[in-house]
Amino acid sequence: MAAARPALGRVLPGSSMLFLCDMQEKFRHVVYFRQIVSVAARMLKVARLLNVPTVLTEQYPQGLGPTVPELGAQGLQPHSKTCFSMVPVVQQELDARPQLRSVLLCGLETQACILQTALDLLDRGLQVHVVVDACTSRSQVDRLVALSRMRQSGAFLSTSEGLILQLMGDAAHPQFKEIQKLIKEPSPDSGLLGLFQDQNPLFR
């Protein structure tokens, strides 16, 4: 009997969603916050150009403040939550999209809300793409181990540009010129080379 074919992790606009997790004012002190927000903002611009539905959450906004304006999420209604996972508060959006196959996940913190959201989505049978240059933590050890943990559980670790190009699929796409402008400059450094260098045993 042939072995089951592993999931390839393809992403298509018509079967994907973008999740933006808890990029709020009181998290500005978190290391690489500015960089990951700029990358998440780029993902949001692309999602809008390609009609990829997007959900936005805020963790206990009464204490942690609103979403930072530089994310560019004006027009999105944030879902307030206390649960670390995003899934309980966006259940309605998930249920309304039976064609959904893939979720692209950005935000913080990697070891808390990102990890628990990824596990809940995987438990629903969805493919999860963690946008590694759009996720961070106060502790880079927590960030590193959480990325490894999600990979062990079946999530895909991807960069923003890799996912953007997968979503677009073809240089003949009518939005190619607009998206090309967005990815012309590389993503800002968010410390990933330091996490992945020297054949880190967590990612073997």
For the annotated catalytic residues, the residue numbers are 22, 81, 113
User: Measured between alpha carbons, how far is 128 from 200 in angstroms, rounded to an integer?
Assistant: 22
Query: Which strands make up the sheet holding 16-21, listed edge to edge?
Result: 79-81, 54-59, 16-21, 102-108, 127-136, 156-158
State the Cα–Cα distance between residues 39 and 52, nearest whole angstrom: 16
What distance in Å separates the CA atoms of residue 197 and residue 204, rounded to the nearest whole number? 12
Give the chain's count of helices (H) and strands (E).
Answer: 8, 6
Tokens at residue 115, please?
């990890």
Contacts of 35 (CB under 8 A, 6+ apart): 133, 136, 187, 188, 189, 190
